[in-house]
């Protein structure tokens, strides 16, 4: 039976394109047993503050690229949470869907998250529930795949595909140069890349649209119904050898 999967590091409240990828597959695997990327998107993203992009960052205890994503702990979560919710309130109080999304966010953060991997994974899974995305989630750390002899990211992903009996693998378009289609076809896995359309929506005022902000921004300005429609605004590019 055909089964489409994607494998990605968990990011905290990522941009719309990440959720499009989640929505495009049957099983989404969080790559949580790979090394943390400093200055990446795992613990950081962008929201609006004073109608300008603002990069927020969740403080971590002894963050290091030598540690796995699922090992890293959040530093002083209650203080960060309180400050972050204030920023959300300041930045989006006048957005059309503020009340509902803000209450949802406060509910989301009522969980006392200790690890960044957990918070990031939940930010993707819980938003998926909110948007009625039916995808099944798994964590790479819970899958018994050969991670020892795999030398490259592609080999690890092919090993996960094999373990999950996947027939198709979808990756974000910006990973096109990282993967060798022949390697996938040899394993009987078709490879495709997802490319988000040039999605725009009304933010504050007349200023130029600020793209690629966190899903929080999308939800604040579009609400649930419109965001569900935006999940479909992409194309799949196949790359056969």
Partner 1 sequence: MTLEDILINSFDASAADVNDQTRLMSLPGWDSMAHMFFITKLEESYEIVLTGDEIAAMETVGAVKNIIISKGKHV
Binding residues for partner 1 (CB under 8 A): 81-82, 85-86, 88-89, 100, 102-112, 122, 126, 129-130
Q: Which is nearer to partner 1, 106 or 236 (CB)?
A: 106
**To which residue do tokens 């300008």 refer?**
52
Q: Which is nearer to partner 1, 104 or 201 (CB)?
A: 104
Q: How far is the CB of 215 from partner 1 (least distance, A)?
A: 13
Q: Which is nearer to partner 1, 4 or 222 (CB)?
A: 222
Q: Which is nearer to partner 1, 134 or 205 (CB)?
A: 134
Q: How far is CA 98 from the centre of its chain?
A: 22
Round to whole Å and give the CA distance between 130 and 122: 12
Reading the block at residue 25, the tokens are 């597959």
Q: How far is the CB of 183 from partner 1 (least distance, A)?
A: 38
Q: How far is the CB of 228 from partner 1 (least distance, A)?
A: 14
Contacts by 131-137, CB closer than 8 A, 24 or more apart:
131/19, 131/23, 131/224, 131/227, 131/228, 131/231, 132/228, 133/19, 133/22, 133/23, 133/231, 135/22, 135/23, 135/25, 135/26, 135/27, 135/28, 136/26, 136/27, 136/28, 137/27, 137/28, 137/29, 137/30
Round to whole Å and give the CA distance between 230 and 195: 13
Reading the block at residue 233, the tokens are 């605004």
For residue 6, the SS3 value is strand
Q: How far is the CB of 98 from partner 1 (least distance, A)?
A: 11
Q: Which is nearer to partner 1, 11 or 184 (CB)?
A: 11
Q: How far is the CB of 112 from partner 1 (least distance, A)?
A: 5
């Amino acid at each position: 039976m055909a089964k489409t999967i994607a494998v990605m590091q968990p990011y905290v409240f990522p941009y719309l394109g990440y959720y499009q990828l989640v929505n495009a597959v049957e099983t989404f695997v969080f790559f949580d047993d790979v090394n943390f990327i400093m200055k990446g998107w795992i613990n950081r993203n962008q929201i609006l503050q004073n109608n300008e992009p603002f990069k927020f960052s969740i403080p971590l205890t002894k963050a290091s690229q030598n540690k796995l994503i699922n090992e890293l702990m959040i530093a002083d979560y209650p203080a960060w949470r309180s400050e972050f919710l204030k920023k959300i309130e300041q930045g989006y109080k006048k957005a059309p869907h503020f009340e509902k999304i803000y209450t949802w966010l406060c509910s989301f953060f009522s969980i006392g998250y200790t690890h960044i991997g957990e918070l990031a994974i939940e930010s993707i899974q819980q938003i998926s529930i909110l948007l009625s995305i039916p995808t099944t989630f798994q964590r790479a750390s819970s899958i018994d795949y050969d991670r020892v002899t795999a030398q490259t990211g592609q080999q690890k992903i092919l090993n996960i595909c094999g373990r999950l009996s996947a027939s198709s693998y979808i990756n974000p378009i910006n990973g096109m140069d990282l993967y060798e289609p022949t390697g996938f076809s040899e394993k009987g896995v078709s490879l495709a890349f997802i490319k988000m359309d040039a999605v725009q929506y009304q933010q504050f005022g007349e200023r130029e649209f600020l793209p690629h902000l966190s899903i929080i921004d999308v939800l604040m300005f579009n609400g649930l119904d419109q965001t569900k429609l935006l999940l479909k605004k992409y194309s799949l590019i196949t790359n056969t050898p």
